[in-house]
Structure 1
Amino acid sequence: MCVRGREMSDTKSNNPVPNFYRASAEDFKKIPGSPIAYWVSNRILSLFDNPLIGDNFVGKEGVGTRNDNLFLRFFWEVSYIKIGREKRWILTDKAGDYRRWYMGCFYVMDWENDGHRIKNYRDEEGILKSRPQNIQYLFKEGITWGKVGSGKTSFRWRPVGFGFNDAAPTLFGKDIFSILPQLNSKLLAYLVAIKGETLNVTTGAITELPLLQNLVENYKLDFNKMASSIINISKTDWDSYETSWDFTTLPLVSPEYLTPTIEASYQKLRTHWQEMTKEMLSLEEENNKIFIEAYGLQDELTPDVPLSEITLTCNPHYRYDANKPEEELEGLLRTDTIKELISYAVGCMVGRYSLDTPGLILANQGETVDDYLSQIPQPSFKPDDDNIIPVLDDEYFTDDIVFRFKDFLKVVFGEKTLSQNLDYIAQALTGKSTSSPEKVIRDYFSRDFFKDHVQRYKKRPIYWMFSSGKQQGFNALVYMHRYNKTTLAKMRTDYLLELEAKLDAELTALNEDPVKNKARISKIKKQVDEMKTWDELLNNKALALIEIDLDDGVVVNYAKFEGLVRAI
């Protein structure tokens, strides 16, 4: 039961005493659950004379594994070829943050042999711990939302072919598309608030709301068209980021926006994002207007939607704190877009992506550059041969990460604008101009790239930073899907020991003028000492010929290299 108070226009004249209301007990019964919402207008009450959503659609909660760490992974943790029906892992909806209309699935669930492991997950006494419920609804199209809310409801279309978790309750039924505009309307949010169920939005909380049947029938074609238009915008936005299952290529480097300079390319892309946001805002407000006007609720609701509720990642008012100044929001978006460019470039360096073919290329355990070349025989930007990319103070190796990044920029944007593009990247990363853009970029790779990667991939990184420690003497990125048991030995012999020899030679040269080079000499000595200590552990791990199994996930596999890799 909930108690709320607010003067209402259509009963105000019947209240001789301020804040005193008369309401029939029968009116409370009209709203399922009978909340004490005495302030609700007669127009709102009359909505509950319609059939309920549950009369036409069924609401179900999905599989409760009761041990998500054991049975769930992010899709990027496992081999691509093992994801799909009749395979080890199925893409699975586990709800997520506040986002309306469309949000792809991050997770995969162990459903090998029709979910045998989950269905037989028992305690020591043999009692079933999991809840493999409603499995007949797996892989069906539906409308889903987050069970645990934040005061705002957000409903999303989920296409055919996905599983769903108990945290992602879902509506199923015929013509499910047509109800999505109602669910994402301000009117629906208002009705949910009346029932007082904004923090725990169960299937019952939704199925007990009125289905505005007459309106749906009158506007069905418009609603289907409207839902399709908004979903297309939302899905395009979602798939623009590499943590989307349907990501194909980075928009910044796609032909529609690509120019010789990153700055001009970004401006074209930013204009497009603004148009997307504006179109979605217009559609959402039109959707609200239809419901409000059809039921004569203009005195109670407005169709306006704040920019912060246009749930597109490309919309900085939603992505960040909307209270920040416009200039700061634009700066945050530009910085993150440049970091996404850098991340995509690293993906191309290791062969996960290619500039020549959309989508994932090397995404299965133990794949090599030969597997890449079998798909793309003449790449415009070839991936690293040995899957070990040094991240060091200088270009000590030909596959140095900054050297490779500059090659990437030359291939994508052209060699003539390299200097201009490096300046723009450095300025976006720091927020100011610099006389040493390459140093800024090198510092970003060594200090911040892995931190950003861990955040982007939700603490399940796929590019692992092997590091000798705080002195930053030796760092190297390894793509986990291409790792094999000889990777560490190769890292030691071809990179670590080789770097130590080069630093020893540099020390000899610097000692010709020890006073002038005092700071550099001190730094190198500390780095070499750190590297020699680290080498003992690296050698031991290399001799152990450690193998990994991607099905175990990042947490289990990453722990095998403790002391060699940066902490997550």
Structure 2
Amino acid sequence: MNHPAVSTPKQSDFLAIPESPVVYWLRPKFFELLTGRLLGDVADVCQGLATADDSRFVRFQWETFDTSRWVPFEKGGGYGKWFGHQFWVVNWKYHGILIKLHPGSAIRNEYHYFSSGWTYSYMARGSLGLRRLEIEGFFSHLASAVFSPLLGTAAVLNARFASSVIRSISAKIQLTESYVARVPFPENIPLLLPQIEADCLTLKRHLVATDATERSFSGVIGDLSQLDAVAAVLHTLEGLNEREVFAAYEVAGDDMQAVLDETGIPAGFHPLIAGYDTLPDLPADLDLPPLPPEVRDYLAAHERIVPSAAELQRIKQRLRGLYEAGPGVKESEQATEAAEGGEGDEDVAVSGAHIPIPTETFLEELSVKLELHPIAVYWLLEQLRAEGTRCKPEEQRLLEDRLSVLILRLLGHRWPKQIEAGEPLPAWADEDGIIPLTAGVGQPTLAERLRLRLRAEDGATGAQQAEALLAELTGLSLEEWLRREFFKRHMRQFKYRPIAWHLASDPTTATGGKGRGKGGSGGARSARRTQPAFECLVYYHACSSDLLARIRTQYVEPFLRAERQRLDAARRSNQETEGAQAQARIQELEEFNRRLQSVAEQGFATPELEKSLADEPLDRWSSDGLIALPDHADLLRQEQSWRVDLNDGVRVNIAPIQQAGLLVADVLKAADAKKALADRARWRSDERRWVRQGKLPRCGWMPDDIPESPQWTVLAPQREAEQAKLAEKRRAVVERGGQGVARADATSQEG
């Protein structure tokens, strides 16, 4: 009898597989499946848009809210199943004309744009995870899409078998659409899979909606127990899904074990613990129909262990250590041995030999490490939390998330869901998008406003408890956390495209006295004081052309007047130390004002800009779209000034602020900040030229009521013909999909 790990394929087996890969290690059952029905037979698997310049055409969804120009765009983001990674938008104004004009761009499969389907990340450690692609947007070449008329397609492909096959037949770890299309597809999809697919989608939506960077964000949930309950049910359904998919392929025994050896055991396959085995209650507001009876049957028949009291205590001790350490922490061998009361595991996998499917929640991570079912882990955690066990890293994350969301709302930010619902700005949001961190300008500071919001939502006692928890977890008061930690955390969370900018008159003192680039104040002054004379937060979407002038006149000037009065008083009373300190603050504030003025007048000045403007025609497109400028000097002054076009994104508009040394921490690398300014000059030059050629109606930074280019009007019939042709192709695809559904229904009835 052959060893289970030994395969002896014939040469004809290789030849029967498309493109004949020499996959000598595959088991006979897999050869059989690879010569049958494939995903490509029942679905379109295709690449999407490649812009050739994402820094120009792609933004994070929080950078712009102009839905007439920017549409949802899926471009990867690593492994993820069911839903999520909805971070990006792409410039599709006038059906993507700017991208189509750009050399090197590739508009692939446009007839599938704005269609519902499933997308997956090209780079995901060889792990296929389909996420819902919604009809409002489309997909990129880094997040290819699957369009299938068959319900349950994502349930089939999100099971481990699909990832195992792709890894076997592909020479690379990337998930190219040609190999995904060759995944075997069952002749009959089990009736339970569409229901599992829909339920997993609902549960994952709920978890994703707690992430402030996601398009679907609806609010921070601070109840760890509630989040774990949703995760426990989700991973239970995923375990049932894996079982059903293996059955659909008729893969069992050693064949199934080969897949699990390669991709890892699903959390839902691990055993339950007797007494810790009931489904947790889900949140009342979760719009989920009753779970199918097969779920309870699955759990009733699932393997259970009955540990002794000592064994259960060891399990809880190990779980306590893992939970207290927080997500992503590797469990040390010593800690494992101590918790288990014996020697370490001898059966340790060789690093790199197999690539487990990544876990997506902390509960799933704990389940996999403990080799216990997620439901058992959930109830053990409930018991441990009742005994006082805490996960301080998660508590800190949730508390800081909540504070960060409140800060953004105070600045006037609304998330897409709030905008879609027509939710107005609350009365307590700031009107001009500038909030001081320093007292003394006649307005409440950020800390004062934040305390008011916490009291309004939690009451006086709850607000005090939140501040006490922050101090316990971070070692910082609310004021210190706002000054020293918020902006750095906000930068990381919002992927270095922050929408709350922390400006300071002396950034070196705001960052503990460390030097930080061009324009910073002197180190001697930093050594004497612990904080800048003035600090404020600025909301990116409030960045109008007069923003910096308002900071100077409404915030800095009152400080200067007060400091000059202190200096005069100190001189009259011969208080040299106080006078010297007042003089230092005056110099700092005056230098801050000078840098603000310099950015306002020459923030976008670069050699590339001067070169591009040298031969620029002086027509209305070089001005405001209405009246031409009289000479090139006026044009240069106009283009050098810090006139913010939000469509250029955070990268371009924050670069002058950073280069002037006004931020408490650098957002961009120095080379990228320099390149961002050169990019802006090139983009604007291109658009003015294309408008003159009739390829655009007006420059993108101009209002829509600016009269369009006459040549654009002339070319209108040609554009309409192209759109009609695309619409016809899209109709044909939809009809083909409908026929596919009919065939699938007939197949199910025959089965």
> 1: CA distance between counterparts of 2:172 and 2:228?
30
Cα distance in 2 for residues equivalent to 1:342 and 1:316: 27
Which residue of 179, 182, 185 corresponds with 1:208?
Answer: 182
Partner letter of residue 63 of structure 1?
Answer: L
1:512-560 deviation line (CA, Å, top 9, x unaligned): 9999x97x99877655433232222224445777421111111221224
- In structure 2, which of residues 162, 179, 200 is the aligned counterpart of residue 230 of structure 1? 200
Shift of 1:41: 2.0
* Alpha-carbon offset, residue 463 of structure 1: 1.2
Larger gyration radius, structure 1 or structure 2? 2
Are 2:305 and 1:305 aligned? no
- Aligned amino acid, residue 359 of structure 1: Q
CA distance in 2: counterparts of 1:446 and 1:232, whole angstroms:
38
Give a deviation string over 1:62-81, Cα, whole Å, max 9, x none.
01111111111112112x2x
Q: Residues 77 and 553 of structure 1 are in contact (CA less than 8 Å); yes or no, is this contact kept in structure 2?
A: yes
The equivalent residue for 2:432 is 386
Structure 1 residue 153, shift from structure 2 partner: 2.5
- Is the counterpart of residue 557 in structure 1 residue 666 in structure 2? no
**C-alpha distance in structure 2 between counterparts of 1:41 and 1:543, whole Å:** 70
Counterpart selection for 2:401 from 337, 340, 351: 340
Residues 364-383 of structure 1: matches in 2 within 5 Å? 375=424, 379=426, 382-383=428-429
Secondary structure, counterpart of 1:470 in structure 2: helix
What residue is the counterpart of 2:56 in the other structure? 70
TM-score, normalised to structure 2, is 0.60
Query: For the structure 1 residues 271 and 550, does the alpha-carbon distance in structure 2 shift closer, same or farther, using more than 3 Å as the test?
Result: same
Partner amino acid, structure 2, of 1:213: E
**1:407 alignment partner in structure 2:** 452
* Residue 548 (structure 1) aligned with residue 644 (structure 2): yes
Aligned residue among 464, 483, 498 for 1:461: 498
2: CA distance between counterparts of 1:291 and 1:101?
16
Structure 1 residues 522 and 450: CA distance shift in structure 2, 3 A? farther
In structure 2, relative to structure 1, the CA distance for the partners of 1:445 and 1:509 (3 Å cut) is farther
**CA distance, structure 2, for counterparts of residue 275 and residue 243 of structure 1:** 23
Other-structure match for 1:192:
166
Residue 229 (structure 1) shift: 0.7
Count of residues paired in the alignment: 492
CA distance in 2, matches of 1:441, 1:512: 37
The DSSP-based 3-state class of the residue aligned with 1:100 is coil
CA offset digits 1:181-208 (Å, max 9, x no partner) = 1111111122122213561211111111
Q: Aligned with 1:191: secondary structure?
A: helix
Which of these residues, 95, 98, 116, is aligned with residue 97 of structure 2?
116
Q: Structure 2 vs 1, CA of residues 316 and 451 (structure 1 numbering), >3 Å: closer, same or farther?
A: farther
Residues 201 and 63 of structure 1, relative CA distance in 2, 3 Å threshold: same
Q: Hey, what does 1:258 align to over in structure 2?
A: none
Structure 1 residue matching 2:49: 3-state secondary structure: coil
Q: Which residue of 2 aligns with 1:470?
A: 508
For the Cα contact (< 8 Å) 2:216–2:417, is it kept in 1?
no
Note the C-alpha offset of 1:246.
Answer: 2.2
Residues 1:542 and 1:114: Cα distance change in structure 2 (over 3 Å): closer
Q: CA deviation at 1:226?
A: 0.3
Tell me: CA distance 1:238–1:419, structure 2 relative to 1, closer, same or farther (3 Å).
same
Q: Could you give the per-residue CA deviations for residues 436-484 of structure 1, whole angstroms, max 9, x where no partner exists?
A: xxx6221111112111111121111111222222123221111121232
Q: Does 1:280 align with 2:325?
A: no
Using the TM superposition, give the Cα deviation of residue 408 of structure 1 relative to its aligned residue in structure 2, in angstroms: 0.8
CA drift of 1:310 comes to 7.2
- The question of whether the paired residues in 1 share the 8 Å contact of 2:59 and 2:90 is answered with yes
Counterpart CA distance in 2 for 1:232 and 1:197 is 35
Q: Which runs of 5+ in 1 are unaligned?
A: 1-9, 14-18, 123-128, 253-265, 364-371, 431-438
Q: Secondary structure at the match of 2:418?
A: coil
Q: Answer yes or no: is 1:169 the counterpart of 2:144.
A: yes
Q: Which residue of 2 aligns with 1:257?
A: none
- 1:373-392: per-residue Cα shift (whole Å, max 9, x none)? xx46xx4x511233211123
SS at match of 2:71: strand
Residue 131 of structure 1 aligns to a residue whose secondary structure is coil
SS in 2 for 1:171: strand
What is the deviation of 1:104? Answer: 4.3
- Preserved contact between residue 139 and residue 163 of structure 1 (Cα < 8 Å): yes
Separation of aligned partners in 2, 1:361 and 1:231: 21
**Superposed counterparts of 1:106-185, under 5 Å:** 106-122=87-103, 129-175=104-150, 177-185=151-159
Once residues 197 and 570 of structure 2 are traced to their aligned partners in structure 1, the CA distance between those partners, rounded to angstroms, is 68
DSSP-derived class of the 2:45 partner: strand
How far the C-alpha of 1:361 sits from its partner, in A, is: 9.1
In structure 2, the residue corresponding to 1:90 is in which secondary structure?
Answer: strand
The whole-number CA distance in structure 1 between the counterparts of 2:390 and 2:101 is: 49
Matched to 2:508, the amino acid is K
Contact 2:467 2:477 in 1 (8 A): no
* Cα drift, residue 137 of structure 1: 0.8
Residue 547 of structure 1 aligns with an amino acid whose one-letter code is R
Contact 1:467 1:565 in 2 (8 A): yes
Amino acid aligned to 1:288: E
Q: State the alpha-carbon separation in 2 of the partners of residues 114 and 67 from structure 1.
A: 17
2: distance between equivalents of 1:332 and 1:521? 45
Q: 1:456 to 1:507 in 2, by over 3 A?
A: farther
Contact 1:464–1:480 (CA<8 Å) still a contact in 2?
Answer: yes
Task: Please name the residue that 1:263 is paired with.
Answer: none
CA contact (8 A) 1:348 1:383 kept: yes
Structure 1 residues 348 and 161, CA gap change in structure 2 (3 angstroms): closer
The SS at the match of 1:422 is: helix
Cα distance, 1:497 vs. partner? 2.4
1:465-544 matches, within 5 Å, as: 465-468=502-505, 469-471=507-509, 472-503=532-563, 526-541=584-599
2:346 is aligned to none
Q: Secondary structure at the match of 1:466?
A: strand
Judge conservation of contact 2:39–2:185 (CA < 8 Å) in 1.
Answer: yes
Q: Is the 8 A contact 2:167 2:173 kept in 1?
A: no
Q: Deviations over 1:328-383 (max 9, x none)?
A: 993222111111111111122112249xx9714999xxxxxxxx9xx46xx4x511
Over 3 Å counting, the alpha-carbon distance change for 1:422 and 1:508 in structure 2 is: farther
Moved more, 535-544 or 52-61: 535-544
Report if aligned partners of 2:117, 2:145 keep a CA contact under 8 Å in 1.
yes
Structure 1 pair 508–361 and aligned structure 2 pair: CA distance change class (3 A): farther
Contact 1:390 1:397 in 2 (8 A): no
Superposed CA RMSD in Å reads 3.5
CA distance in structure 1 between the aligned counterparts of 2:581 and 2:127, rounded to whole angstroms: 53
Identity of aligned residues (%): 21
How far, CA to CA, are the matches of 1:185 and 1:513 in structure 2?
79
| Structure 1 residue identity aligned to 2:233 | E
Helix, strand or coil for the counterpart of 1:112? coil
> Partner of 1:345: helix, strand, or coil?
helix
After superposition, the Cα gap between the structure-2 partners of 1:508 and 1:272, relative to the gap in structure 1 and judged at 3 Å, is farther
Q: Which secondary structure does the structure 2 equivalent of 1:464 belong to?
A: strand
Asked whether the 8 Å contact 2:232–2:363 carries over to 1, the reply is no
